[in-house]
Structure 1
Amino acid sequence: MRIDIATLFPEMCERVLSESIIGRARQRGYIELACHQIRDYTTNRQKQVDDYPYGGGPGMVMQAQPIYDCCVDVVRQVEEAGHARPHVVFMTAAGTPLTEEKCKQLAQKDSLLLVCGHYEGIDERVIEALADEEISIGDYVLTGGELAALVVADSVCRLCPGVLSSPEGYEEESHYSGLLEYPQYSRPEEWNGRRVPEILLSGHHANIAKWRHEQALERTRTRRPDLYEKYEEKSMAKIDK
């Protein structure tokens, strides 16, 4: 998979994407990542990318032209590199909420182009012209789209073959199956008077799996009743079939 990010702060994105698991996967060639400076596509001497909003109001709005030209050039680069035309995602507060299911869908794409907004937003016309979809990472507002794009890139890349050591690395994580993950423990067996549950020391894999599933169900039911309700609905639908 290849992911490109159009941003005003490519160095910020590069730093994060070069670290830890994603950085190692990138070095080993399991994923391709590239960041592009939107300011390089301005047509004015000041490299200005924003202007006052029509209709008045506070702040500035990112202009359509530099974003459009940047994205068109990135699409060209991606296709010349042998990939399919990238699926273009604008990171906006009005976008579809990011979920693990959405990450699975995006991970099936050959390439993604994530576009980061700033200021009071992006000229709607360039979103209408280019976006395949808009995504939000939550019901709050950030100073820019970079953190949101990095969240999407990280959550999608970890689902790509080779990035994690095995599929179990993400299949048992929270949200992948619709449930929150069961509690985890490591050495020592006792810490500050708290012991690891005896079942995890038993070596009985079937009983451990049963305990973990029960814990995942209970944790989801008590902490995220909205997720639990959806999980129950899906389970009942499978039974009905």
Structure 2
Amino acid sequence: MRQIFLDTETTGLDHRQGHRIIEVACVELENRRLTGRHLHRYVNPEREVDAGAMAVHGISNEFLEDKPKFIDVAQELRDFISGAELVIHNATFDIGFLDMEFGRINFPRTLEVCSGVQDTLKMARELYPGKRNNLDALCERYQINNAHRTLHGALLDAELLAEVYLAMTRGQESLIMDQPTSTQAALQEDVAQRPPRERPPLIVRRAEAAELEAHLQVLEGIQKESKGACLWLQPETESAGSAS
């Protein structure tokens, strides 16, 4: 089965307010193995990035000035995801933006091109009700090193999501076929003989009072820019890694 782990960054939180995609990334997995193929594009949104969103992903208006417009990358993106199952953290957010962008140029909607969508945020909430289930929390829970994730970025987040998904669904590969082909059997044997992966210990650095205050000021700025739609200030609502 071919799966695509997809993430976007955007100019703001709501495509219905005219916000646009500024970065899209896809990472390919086939039969639960990373293929090494990926697609990563920055996009000129033809509008300014909100200050609150820029604080999250760090992508400036100046950086995007010479980047292609969405119409210039749409066919390449459509071809890459065609026929695959999409795996997205907080899929409603990204699918909403993709459908808006595709609709602007009269392309089919996302689910008319792909075989389906899995939302890992929904999966995580079912597995861990009442707990934090954003991407950072899941990386910590499954001991996936995300120390290099200082800002949100579509390609890095898609790569981390692939690792998280494999950890969340470990064991499901045995359910794919009762009688595996010789190729599948060889792959399973290779995985079984592979030594356990050692991960460096996570370094936990608690935020200081001044840092917590600065973080709150950033969230309040996002709250103001989004007219009260800041996900991080809404109880029991957790963001994905999309403006995430």
Which structure has the greater CA radius of gyration? 1
More contact order relative to length (CA 8 Å, sep ≥ 6): 2
Scaled by the length of structure 1, the TM-score of the pair is 0.29
